Structure 1
């Protein structure tokens, strides 16, 4: 389960997405909560790959690269240390399962509408021009319906009303329009609607294109930050971010940074985006690794909100299980923070990243 969580998160480049998938599988009855917990732990490890790639983009300058790579690996070290301690503990005692079950039992949870996706409003119009998938086929396959096993996942026919769900139609029957139950189906408007390529070929093309686009954006991000955050601007930001609260509230600075990290991650709905954004700043010396560490921990907390929102959209009969696995993600990160942050001598990820 741990390895599955790592691989899925590496592929989708977002722990928010992978944990939401796990929540959906639990809510549909495909996974038990106890089986999903290791996958959730693995998703935490997989999400740190993106900021490691960002750090590699600064390999041109040795000093910047050392700082950036340390800032990226502090996330890895925290996640691995947490898993190495908490996974055996969970296997032996089931503490996450028991705690979250008690928390769920104490709430009077009701089903809700689909969880809001703050970035979907922006990205969906563009993704629909590239590819559209037939969710009815995916749902049927997930529920064990073998009749659609050889059916293409690529949607060809669409209703003019986007709120309606079209019946799956083979691409071989595609024309400009088609009548179904007195409703006119129109051919979908995306790149792969008339290519005739098999699903595997389309998937490989999209994977290669997305990886190329990701690397391009990361390179541009690093170059832009390098050009903007120099001179007096860098000094001002460095002074503000790395300054501690006055005595006797110095101890609260790191916890405030966690709140900032969690809030920013909630806004962008992706810990990968947030940690990748601060990695170049660490490389430039704008953010110290000691300050980046609590920001990263806060980001881990912020990314759990997506799974919680997804769980609240589950069917009533499976809502408690879906909410429980979402809380497992939250309590796993809280447990890791309690292990590796409050006591200064236990902040091993910082020392490991600097080594």
Structure 2
């Protein structure tokens, strides 16, 4: 029997000793209780390793609080305070890097996205509009920018409300690419990457599933409904806005950008109105016009004569040359070259901040702090109010997203917490749904600030975005069976990326670029081409999905040959052959190594 076992045994047999230990001065009892706590922490850690989706309880290292002297306690509090300050500083630069990433993609693809949105010939059916929304948002890295461009085009009668609704559905999908990119920063540790990637892609799964359900309804009700060319969302929002008049102009308040702009403006400044002009097909716009600002509003001191031979210095706004880091470089470099440089800088800052944030979270969230924080974030309401917890989480997610005015920033900040095991995937899901609601607040504010003559149309588009997300939540959240569908799909993707880490990059490339590009190309060719090529492919993959479910749930209903996929060549039913190729190609890269690493 070990020393710890010998001490634990009499403790269990003599509870009165435990109660009066301090009174009797029995030091061995105190040591035994601490040893038992360490053993419990070790057991929790082993349980977490068995279940990769469980909340992580890292074993406590060093002394417990009750074991420390007064000076050690003060030192520990000081270290925690310094780490918290560093954490907020890193979060600040992390958010700034997301802004740089958005600007880089605007430089690389902003003009192309604007020109594509201005071409009514390719926006001839809902599928092409949907894919254009995805591609434009991926290129612009901002669903708010895509939505504001669409609202402007509707106000200019370049798009009708029905077309705008389908583009906004695509923007809802495209906005989730940012937190999926952020999750790749935790690829160094397998289980962290599993949880982080699942936490990011649960947003993707909800958006895709909502589109699959709502787009056909909107399309069919518009094609065959009593109101021609206007579907369910279009009719609902028109009924809500037809009698409204804009009497006051609201101003757009920016909370988070007010904090980040002082730094980001020192690096790069872009004129986003150029993209809108391309989208509006403004013939006065020069095709070689750069997105980088060169002329800005500046404040200059000016002497003003006030009489009696005296002058007063006043600061007057005037137009002058912009001053930021890339201004001189932008005069000689093209937008694409500058975009590549800014993209490298943004990804470098993003990865560095993410790695340091994860390390700080690991060092902070240990012992009692981690336990209390995990319980608070993931706690449910007691008793009969337990089922309301998720709906309160939706409201919290919507509230925080309204404050920061960016669903990408909010969900990207939560992704590392899911990865390190503080926030459970089941709690991330309703927070993500709330972020989808909160991001529509920006478009509603923009609509309320529009001119009276276009107020009704712009508000109708903004409200269509809101009700699309509300209907999606009503489909995929209240019923537990439906709620588990996007969560289980995200877990499946998380397990796959944990085993084959290169799959994350393939997923990003295929889901956000290849599939939208191919479907968009087919839809541009015409509805007949899209139906003739796309529908057989769609039903083929639906059949594969159904067979996969039956193989797991009810294999007896399938023919003997279809009970597994072993009759097919291995590359058609396993990722292992591709993993062997990737491993040989990039064996030096740790994230490409397969099962053996941790």
Q: TM-score, normalised by structure 1?
A: 0.85
Corresponding position of 2:469: 333
1: CA distance, partners of 2:418 / 2:273: 45
- Give 1:76's match in structure 2, choosing from 169, 184, 204: 204
Aligned partner of residue 252 in structure 2, secondary structure: coil
Corresponding position of 2:416: 280
2: CA distance, partners of 1:238 / 1:281: 10
Corresponding position of 1:22: 150
1: CA distance, partners of 2:276 / 2:205: 37
**Within 5 A, what are the aligned runs for 1:101-250?**
101-110=238-247, 112-133=249-270, 142=280, 144-146=282-284, 148-161=286-299, 185-195=319-329, 196-197=331-332, 198-250=334-386
Shift of 1:251: 1.3
Corresponding position of 1:351: 488
**More displaced 10-residue stretch of structure 1: 8-17 or 315-324:** 8-17
Corresponding position of 1:97: 234
1: CA distance, partners of 2:244 / 2:319: 44
2: CA distance, partners of 1:136 / 1:71: 34
1: CA distance, partners of 2:354 / 2:207: 23
Corresponding position of 2:303: none
Per-residue CA deviation, residues 137-189 of structure 1 (Å, 9 max, x unaligned), is 66665462336444444443445349xxxxxxxxxxxxxxxxxxxx9753322
8 Å contact 2:154–2:160 — kept in the other structure? yes
Aligned partner of residue 173 in structure 2, secondary structure: helix
Q: Does 1:56 align with 2:192?
A: no
Q: Does 1:289 align with 2:425?
A: yes
Aligned partner of residue 259 in structure 1, secondary structure: helix
Aligned partner of residue 320 in structure 2, secondary structure: strand
Corresponding position of 2:400: 264
Aligned partner of residue 186 in structure 1, secondary structure: strand
Over 3 Å counting, the alpha-carbon distance change for 1:184 and 1:69 in structure 2 is: closer
**Within 5 A, what are the aligned runs for 1:301-312?**
301-312=437-448
8 Å contact 2:173–2:207 — kept in the other structure? yes
> Structure 1: where are the runs of 5+ without partners?
163-182
2: CA distance, partners of 1:135 / 1:276: 23
Corresponding position of 1:178: none
Over 3 Å counting, the alpha-carbon distance change for 1:264 and 1:127 in structure 2 is: same
Per-residue CA deviation, residues 254-297 of structure 1 (Å, 9 max, x unaligned), is 10111111111111111111112222222222222111111111
2: CA distance, partners of 1:60 / 1:134: 37
2: CA distance, partners of 1:293 / 1:39: 24
Corresponding position of 2:460: 324
Over 3 Å counting, the alpha-carbon distance change for 1:118 and 1:31 in structure 2 is: farther
Aligned partner of residue 248 in structure 1, secondary structure: helix
Per-residue CA deviation, residues 215-273 of structure 1 (Å, 9 max, x unaligned), is 33333333332332233222111111222111211111110111111111111111111
Over 3 Å counting, the alpha-carbon distance change for 1:325 and 1:111 in structure 2 is: farther
2: CA distance, partners of 1:265 / 1:297: 11
Point out which structure has higher relative CO (alpha carbons under 8 A, 6+ apart): 1
8 Å contact 1:96–1:332 — kept in the other structure? yes
Corresponding position of 2:88: none
**More displaced 10-residue stretch of structure 1: 53-62 or 34-43:** 53-62
2: CA distance, partners of 1:227 / 1:17: 37
RMSD: 2.5
> Structure 2: where are the runs of 5+ without partners?
1-128, 222-230, 301-316, 493-598
- Give 1:87's match in structure 2, choosing from 191, 215, 230: 215
1: CA distance, partners of 2:205 / 2:289: 43
8 Å contact 2:151–2:461 — kept in the other structure? yes
Aligned partner of residue 103 in structure 1, secondary structure: helix
Aligned partner of residue 186 in structure 2, secondary structure: coil
Aligned partner of residue 22 in structure 1, secondary structure: helix
8 Å contact 1:24–1:311 — kept in the other structure? no
Shift of 1:119: 2.5
2: CA distance, partners of 1:34 / 1:306: 20
Shift of 1:100: 0.9
Corresponding position of 2:133: 5
Corresponding position of 1:173: none
